[in-house]
Structure 1
Amino acid sequence: MASEEQCLALSQWRSVHLTHVEFPEDDLLGQALAYITLLPVAILVGFVTLIVFKRELHSISFFGGLVLNEGVNWLLKRVLREPRPCPLVRSTLSAGYGMPSSHAQLIWFFVVYSVLFHRLRTRQTDPLWRHVLSVTLLGTALSVSYSRVYLLYHTWSQVFCGGVAGSTIGIFWFFFTREALTPLFPKIAAWPISEYCLVRDTSLIPNVLWFEYTVTRSEAMNRRPKLGPRR
């Protein structure tokens, strides 16, 4: 638990603009961690945007795993009912539970699933790029986890349990998607409702980014003569 001095210092904290994330006043590290701790929220927003514009079945499945992960966290918090640090001083958090940390659970689900995806799914990607991406993702997860403790939103045990839960669900959901859902994607993509909503399946394409680049470039070059010279 947090020390008495740390709890008393909360009266000097202020929140990040347009959010309710608090950090110690005049603490540059705390301010940086306050923005880092918002990364799980940015991930959720990014997934919704990706699904709206890409409408790809694997992305939808990935997002479904995130929703499942959040549901498990909601259930665990209400079963364990462990308070956050400084519940009497930090009135804004008095109504919530801290075990396990939802931010840690979400970020570790996202990171573990992403690492497994790039290691086992996109084998044709440059190995150096895969290593760099894996290290970056792990560093992000550690930074978010540390921010939750530094900003006194959670204890180390709450963050650790959130990380274990998120990692476990991430491993389960990756293999469930690969073994059980991916074989169904072609059938789902052929449904009339899927065709109407432009939902697509790219699970058989090894490098979607390169595929989209080459197809778009080829289509642009084919259409160029038809458009005539620009004036």
Structure 2
Amino acid sequence: MAATDDEAFLVHSKLSNDDRLEWVPLSLTLVEYPQGDWLGKLFAIISLMPFGIISGFVALILFRRDMHTITFFLGTGLNEVLNLILKHTFCEARPIHRNALYTEYGMPSSHSQFMWFFSTYVLYFVFIRLHHINNNTLLENMWKTAISVTCILVSTLVTISRVYLQYHTWKQVLSGALVGFLFASLWFALTYLIFTPLFPLIASWRMSEFLLLRDTTLIPNVLWFEYTHSRQEARARGRKLVSMKSQ
């Protein structure tokens, strides 16, 4: 009986201690929307887009090891650091109904800045870096336009969602969009003019060979290059396999 009483005392003591703890939400992934509001729920899902993009970055870096992708991801990280610095410089609170839940500042919006950095960089990459040599076909222009429209549309929806869900004011999201656009322009210029010429040298380092890092900047269209070469290799291996079975 004594042991049971001791266990009960420990449980009661633990519950009492838990009651005194102050629990705070992890605002990084927490998104609220009005109950029964289907548009709010849709915006809440859309506002999680940055986390999907980060997951895509990690997957691309792990499986492709392309230095341009790594540089792009590094710029994304620096963009977030810049956002953090600006927030603690302006020290502007979120809309009044979010102050009780969020203690972090809201100016500029990190979601808006992230999305417009990503979209702006992708647009520069598609129209400046990714192209066929002297082969601007109608199909190529169509998929470039589709990528551009998709990036702008998604970034716009994420920006609107932060205002609709009352996490930011219009000034905060538009400021984030402007900062993201400007920093993406700067980072792409640095990558295109300064970092890219260094990629062949970095790729030749022993550490880069160990990590399987590669430089594909001299290939006009990486997607087309990988598609055609993988198809040719698959056909060659298929013919070799048939030849071996016929012997």
Length-normalised TM-score, structure 1: 0.87
Residue 142 (structure 1) aligned to one of 142, 150, 156? 156
Moved over 4 A (4+): none
Matched, 1:82 2:96: no
Q: What is the match of residue 66 of structure 1?
A: 76
Matched, 1:199 2:213: yes
Q: 1-side partners of 2:120 and 2:84: how far apart?
A: 20
Q: 2-side partners of 1:128 and 1:226: how far apart?
A: 38
Matched, 1:123 2:148: no
Q: What is the match of residue 117 of structure 2?
A: 109
Q: Give the AA of the match of 1:181.
A: F
Q: 2-side partners of 1:121 and 1:56: how far apart?
A: 14
Q: CA deviation at 1:217?
A: 1.4
Secondary structure of 1:153 counterpart: coil
Kindly provide the CA deviation profile for residues 76-116 of structure 1, in whole angstroms up to 9, marking residues without a partner as x: 111111111125x65331x1110000000000000001011
Q: CA deviation at 1:225?
A: 3.7
What are the ranges of 5 or more consecutive residues in structure 2 without an aligned counterpart? 1-24
Q: 1-side partners of 2:230 and 2:131: how far apart?
A: 23
Q: What is the match of residue 33 of structure 1?
A: 43
Q: Give the AA of the match of 1:164.
A: L
Kindly provide the CA deviation profile for residues 174-228 of structure 1, in whole angstroms up to 9, marking residues without a partner as x: 1110000000000011110001111000001111111111111121222224434
Q: Give the AA of the match of 2:230.
A: T
- Root mean square deviation of aligned Cα: 1.7
Aligned residues: 211
Q: 1-side partners of 2:122 and 2:238: how far apart?
A: 38
Q: 1-side partners of 2:174 and 2:245: how far apart?
A: 62
Q: What is the match of residue 53 of structure 1?
A: 63
Q: What is the match of residue 30 of structure 2?
A: 20
Change (3 A) 1:90 1:27: farther
Secondary structure of 1:22 counterpart: coil
Kindly provide the CA deviation profile for residues 134-163 of structure 1, in whole angstroms up to 9, marking residues without a partner as x: 111111111000000000110000001100
Q: Give the AA of the match of 1:85.
A: P
Kindly provide the CA deviation profile for residues 46-83 of structure 1, in whole angstroms up to 9, marking residues without a partner as x: 10111011000000000011011000001111111111
Residue 186 (structure 1) aligned to one of 181, 186, 200? 200
Secondary structure of 1:92 counterpart: coil
